[in-house]
Structure 1
């Protein structure tokens, strides 16, 4: 049987790959790494990167020195990045035969780097494995296509489609509105097939040129990798067709935000059965406890679902996004929806994560909340009948400052996700928010410039 290194070499040579993009995900979800000739990549068996790349903000800045040196070696040492042979993806838009290989990160002793988002998800999945469970997830990714713009002061607008006209009004589930961008999506599906991404359906969402791609249910780590690749693929296809694709949570004023809904269930490894359903098809105690855990801990992990100041604009009133951890069956006004299904497909849909969330961290956070609920046997609230948008009892923090404070103060998260990760993640997001507060907005110029 071939070793992982031999499997990796075999796959690259079969595809006649000449260049390899060696990548890791930072806390924001940006791919960081190196591009290497295939021969050099195989000879070295991976790469080394400074640990500090995991504490970069979305603007490329770093956290304050006191946090930086509390979490990292003062010598600014490298971490070892090891390729995962199960995470090889072609780069179909590259001029040369190129593959992207996602890496795991360890220190010089072989210990997983605590700040790595992929390691955080692996850490949560091990909790399930240790109990004989295997979580199953099915993400849904919403995003906007927009007209290309080089000036960030100009609002984003819908692009021109095949008809020669931009979309107007709400075109939810419209086939014709989706077909406006057929050439683009033909490339997306061709590229995703070449990459082995497990896409399911394409849907037109509520906003102008707002789309949704659904993934088939499967392994959480594999799907986090696939979402990382898909977001980049979608952007590349959009650029080829002279438009932009954005996964911002709230890119356009007065239009719906973009979410990353996560459907979740859990299998018993020994039997292969869904532990959310009893033999008679009714909902199990573990299912209810899973929901109870989501309700109890989501307020603590919210920054992993809503990582940016823009993320919280999606939660403003009358934006069609739930700002609560209520639950209910077939109810889209709650944060935790139970879709109608057969007993073996019993699941809960977490509707709170934004499309801008790091997929490794969003999946890790959601699965951890459910796991804690099952371990602690947390009873959920009464399911909601009817509209839940205005409910106040189980509402969430509405600013990123409040959400980060709750995350920082939660000792349970430090125990299960690691003190370094929680401290580092909060520090990165606070640094980004401090950067944001220094920017004078167009609203301030419009309404204050000549009025106060």
Structure 2
């Protein structure tokens, strides 16, 4: 441990860092933590935070008292947060030399905190490692650029680009439309290079000023850290250029939603061979089992892929998002697409997760579903050829209430995720939904105010 901290200390001193943002991810994916002078950070070798931040909702509220005190110590004790020397990133937009260091969380006995999203992902990766397997993932992040607006009652609008005009119509894959925001994305790429993020391509998606950034394939924990850093980076660069970036799953009415597509495969740790392909290049039985696990368990764990009430608006009819767990080769209308690839690069693309999902939890959930398929020898359905949007088999839950009920009842996943995490996560999402239901929407005011 001391050697690792010495490495981190050298890294900070070489870059003349004066402040360190010490952070953990809560269940939503919000960065929680403390900002510390570098000297104090190195002296204390970590930080302490109340355990309760892991049961905090996106609105800042907490779960009901009976669940809260059942899952946490009544004294509201601290957890111990230790820096991960492999998760240190520069903050290029800060006025002073600043770094962000992601921490892992432990109780006072040194046990990993069960409610921690990063610990959940590490637990799932250990399941693979114990089998001699290593998952490889490549996330794709969709998001919208919008005009800055301080009033949440106003619908979001496309921002002005370099031409001085907002986008109209669909501009999918348009290079010129993406170039409207060149100065912004030049900063994004510069900042991400400084931070060591493995960005690949930039694509203009279907919606007005909707973009997609692809990450190069790699190790799941490192990429979850990178997504966490990237989302903060994208927001900061947007603010610098007087626009806003949102990763909401469905921010604009009648426009496509934003997804987090996850390409995933599994290799043998010793040989590096892709376990999804046989020696003759055909699809392996483990590949079929992996898809079978995704089909069976994604609907059971959907709140980890679609965590908010807004997430389920992506799954409405005619929204261009997949609405089931069908699979097929080179088919973007299914939830589980198998892209054309060489045997060594064979993978499945999970197209169901929203861009609003916590990166640690959604990668953990997607890999866990596939893992359970592999160890339970699950068989997938027949692959779909042609359009799959209207297929009624293998449908997803259509509301967050139904999805939370199914997750709560999924004992097979609880075995791996832990009872405490399952109860805590469901409780947080229910508390958020209760808060949502108290808000009167503009639709109700528009159509009911003077009509009923």
TM-score clears 0.5: yes
Give the TM interval when normalised to the shorter protein.
over 0.9
Aligned match of 2:113: 113
SS of 1:406's partner is helix
Task: Note the aligned Cα RMSD (angstroms).
Answer: 0.7
In structure 1, distance between residues paired with 2:226 and 2:301? 23
Q: CA deviation at 1:82?
A: 0.3
Q: How do 1:295-314 and structure 2 match up within 5 A?
A: 295-314=295-314
Aligned match of 1:92: 92
Aligned match of 2:33: 33
Q: How do 1:192-271 and structure 2 match up within 5 A?
A: 192-271=192-271
In structure 2, distance between residues paired with 1:387 and 1:395? 15
SS of 2:414's partner is helix
SS of 1:303's partner is helix
In structure 2, distance between residues paired with 1:415 and 1:343? 33
SS of 2:295's partner is helix
Aligned match of 2:384: 384
Q: CA deviation at 1:295?
A: 0.4
Aligned match of 1:331: 331
In structure 2, distance between residues paired with 1:443 and 1:326? 33
1:79-103 deviation per Cα after TM superposition (whole angstroms, max 9, x unaligned): 0000000000000000000000000
Aligned match of 2:49: 49
In structure 2, distance between residues paired with 1:346 and 1:81? 38
In structure 2, distance between residues paired with 1:193 and 1:163? 27
2:102 counterpart of 1:102: yes
SS of 2:341's partner is coil
In structure 2, distance between residues paired with 1:301 and 1:137? 19
**Where in structure 2 are there 5+ consecutive unaligned residues?**
none
Question: Structure 1: which 4+ aligned runs deviate by more than 4 Å?
Answer: none
In structure 2, distance between residues paired with 1:237 and 1:214? 17
SS of 2:301's partner is helix
2:397 counterpart of 1:418: no
SS of 1:407's partner is helix
Aligned match of 2:359: 359
1:199-258 deviation per Cα after TM superposition (whole angstroms, max 9, x unaligned): 000000000000000000000000000000000000000000000000000000000000
SS of 2:212's partner is strand
In structure 1, distance between residues paired with 2:34 and 2:107? 18
1:317-356 deviation per Cα after TM superposition (whole angstroms, max 9, x unaligned): 0000001000000000100000000110000000000000
Aligned match of 1:76: 76
In structure 1, distance between residues paired with 2:143 and 2:246? 6
Aligned match of 1:129: 129
In structure 2, distance between residues paired with 1:192 and 1:5? 24
TM-score w.r.t. structure 1 length? 1.00
Q: CA deviation at 1:270?
A: 1.3
Q: How do 1:331-350 and structure 2 match up within 5 A?
A: 331-350=331-350
Q: CA deviation at 1:174?
A: 0.3
Q: CA deviation at 1:271?
A: 1.0
In structure 2, distance between residues paired with 1:16 and 1:347? 42
Q: CA deviation at 1:150?
A: 0.4
In structure 1, distance between residues paired with 2:356 and 2:79? 26
Q: CA deviation at 1:2?
A: 7.5
Aligned match of 2:369: 369
- Equivalent pairs, count: 452
SS of 1:380's partner is coil
